[in-house]
């Protein structure tokens, strides 16, 4: 029994962040529960099974919708997801009642009535449809199918969860590098500025050297390569000053933060750069694997980083250098090399984040990533990495980044204003540090001391 308790306790301590994340998801799933008639793709999702039944038994369906964005989402969802043929389903989308009336009339007269009429919430009150039997008797027995009232969570939908993953991707990717740096006992404040520098560089390289909006894939790849390399170069600069001259990381990266932001402004002359090819946005938001590419990139990078930190010599070196630099040096660990790798990786990953940001927004602006470094550091700290160095897990950082995105997203769904969100994010950081001190037993000692007092 005791052993089970020990195992549970160990699991809770090791993966406390995962539990916090799941708890947050559960909370927002419940908090965003809502009873209403679903519209858009959610309405279509609800009706799809009935429509499949009808088409399977050889029936045809008439889909009626207005031209509002929600209704367009409704019809496009059916078109994309169902795989119905044109013969099975006829779409009367974006049309006025007049066109629908004409269609009903034509079909009533030539006897080709459909087996069912499917409509969105916005057409459900049309008298034309409700009173169809009076004007066109052949339609009288054709059932009308509209979305019904349903209780569902706005948070817990596949679409929204993909959204959360997409929102967290850039921060999470940059947080990998930040985790490495913080584990070695340093800090990198320049990542937010490097996002801007990298985004601007990528966009400008495409505009000026690779044919602007007509750039082909090789041009895009070259521009991305240049941007990431430049960010890595700035990381190298920081690393060199920190390792060779022993300058404090906080100050050095504070300086490179300013330099990188300034460089981005100079390069772009203070403007956003829009002349990028359409296909550039595929990099971040394309979905060849079902989820956006940026999420795929994030997961791949996390897999690699986790492997590196747990299974390789280099990973051990990171922990050793952060835990006790002098002992690491005396143990033959190439301390300067390890520190260098951390800052170069942090710079390069910030570069990757910048490229993805530019790709998603189809432009490069020197104003990207302002204060982003604080979000990234928050993700790392919430993920359980100690700012003193030597302790921390890559997996924890992923949980931290996701937790931040979940909270942001959940609060947006609950219509909480951004000022309040700031307060909640701050409380989250305190909570994370509190959990950390709980792990170290300081809290228990305090409680014991207070309760022992006579």
For other proteins, the closer of residues 5 and 454 by Cβ is: 454
143 phi/psi in degrees, rounded to 5: -70, 145
Terminal Cα-to-Cα distance of the chain (whole angstroms): 34
Which of these segments, 152-160, 263-271, 291-299, 321-329, binds other proteins (CB under 8 A)?
A: 321-329
Cβ proximity of 178 and 188 under 8 Å:
yes
> Which H or E element spans position 61?
strand 61-65
For other proteins, the closer of residues 320 and 411 by Cβ is: 320
Minimum distance, C-beta of residue 329 to other proteins, in the bound complex (Å): 6
Site string for other proteins, 425-454 (x = CB under 8 A): ----------------x------xx--xxx
Q: Out of 314, 361, 387, 416, which residue is the one contacting other proteins (CB under 8 A)? A: 314
> Which H or E element spans position 33?
strand 33-36
Residue 220 near other proteins by CB under 8 A: no
Which of these segments, 92-100, 188-196, 318-326, 421-429, binds other proteins (CB under 8 A)?
A: 318-326
Residue 330 near other proteins by CB under 8 A: yes
State whether residue 62 is helix, strand or coil. strand
User: Distance between CA 454 and CA 213 in Å, rounded?
Assistant: 77
Tokens representing 431 are: 């909570």
Tokens representing 102 are: 């004409």
Q: Out of 96, 112, 127, 312, which residue is the one contacting other proteins (CB under 8 A)? A: 312
Residue 59 near other proteins by CB under 8 A: no
Q: Where are the alpha helices (DSSP H) in 362-417?
A: 372-382, 394-413
Residue 384 near other proteins by CB under 8 A: no
Residue 331 near other proteins by CB under 8 A: yes
Residue 320 near other proteins by CB under 8 A: yes
For other proteins, the closer of residues 273 and 344 by Cβ is: 344
Q: Out of 2, 35, 57, 313, which residue is the one contacting other proteins (CB under 8 A)? A: 313
SS (H, E, C) 100-145: HHHHHHHHHHHCCCCCEEEECHHHCCCHHHHCHHHHCHHHCCCCEE
Residue 191 near other proteins by CB under 8 A: no
Q: What angle do CA 58, 61, 62 make, to 5 degrees?
A: 160
Enumerate binding residues for other proteins (CB under 8 A): 311-314, 316-317, 319-320, 323-324, 326-334, 386, 390-391, 441, 448-449, 452-454
């Amino acid at each position: 029994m005791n052993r089970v308790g020990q195992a549970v306790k160990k699991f809770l301590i090791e993966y406390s962040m995962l539990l916090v994340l799941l708890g947050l998801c559960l909370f927002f799933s419940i908090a965003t529960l809502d009873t209403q008639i679903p519209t858009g793709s959610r309405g279509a999702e609800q009706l799809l099974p009935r429509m499949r039944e009808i088409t399977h038994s050889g029936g045809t369906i008439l889909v009626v919708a207005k031209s509002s964005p929600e209704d367009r989402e409704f019809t496009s969802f059916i078109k994309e997801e169902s795989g119905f043929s044109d013969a099975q389903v006829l779409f009367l989308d974006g049309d006025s009642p007049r066109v629908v009336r004409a269609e009903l009339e034509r079909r009533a007269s030539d006897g080709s009535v459909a087996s069912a009429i499917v409509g969105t919430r916005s057409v459900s009150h049309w008298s034309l449809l409700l009173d169809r039997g009076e004007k066109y008797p052949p339609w009288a027995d054709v059932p009308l199918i509209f979305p019904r009232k349903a209780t569902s969570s706005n948070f817990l939908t596949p679409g929204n969860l993909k959204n959360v993953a997409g929102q967290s991707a850039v921060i999470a990717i940059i947080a990998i590098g930040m985790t490495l740096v913080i584990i070695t006992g340093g800090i990198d404040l320049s990542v937010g500025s490097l996002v801007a520098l990298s985004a601007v560089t990528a966009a400008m390289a495409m505009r000026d050297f690779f044919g602007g909006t007509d750039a082909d894939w090789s041009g895009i790849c070259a521009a991305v390569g240049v941007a990431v390399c430049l960010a890595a170069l700035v990381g190298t600069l920081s690393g060199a000053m920190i390792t060779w001259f022993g300058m404090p990381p906080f100050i050095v990266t504070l300086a490179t933060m300013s330099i990188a932001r300034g460089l981005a402004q100079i390069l772009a002359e203070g403007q956003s750069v829009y002349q990028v090819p359409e296909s550039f946005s595929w990099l971040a938001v394309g979905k060849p694997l079902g989820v956006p590419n940026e999420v795929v990139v994030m997961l791949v990078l996390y897999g690699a980083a986790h492997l590196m930190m747990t299974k390789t010599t280099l990973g051990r070196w990171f922990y050793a250098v952060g835990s006790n630099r002098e002992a690491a040096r005396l143990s033959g660990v190439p301390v300067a090399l390890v520190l260098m790798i951390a800052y170069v990786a942090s710079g390069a990953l910030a570069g990757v984040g910048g490229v993805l940001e530019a790709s998603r927004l189809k432009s490069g602006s020197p104003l990207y990533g302002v204060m982003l470094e604080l979000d990234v550091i928050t993700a790392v700290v919430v993920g359980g990495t100690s700012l003193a160095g030597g302790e921390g897990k890559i997996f924890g950082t992923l949980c931290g980044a996701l937790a931040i995105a979940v909270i942001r997203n959940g609060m947006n769904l609950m219509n909480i204003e951004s000022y309040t969100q700031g307060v909640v994010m701050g409380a989250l950081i305190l909570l994370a540090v509190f959990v950390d001190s709980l792990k170290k037993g300081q809290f228990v000692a305090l409680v014991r001391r207070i309760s022992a007092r006579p």
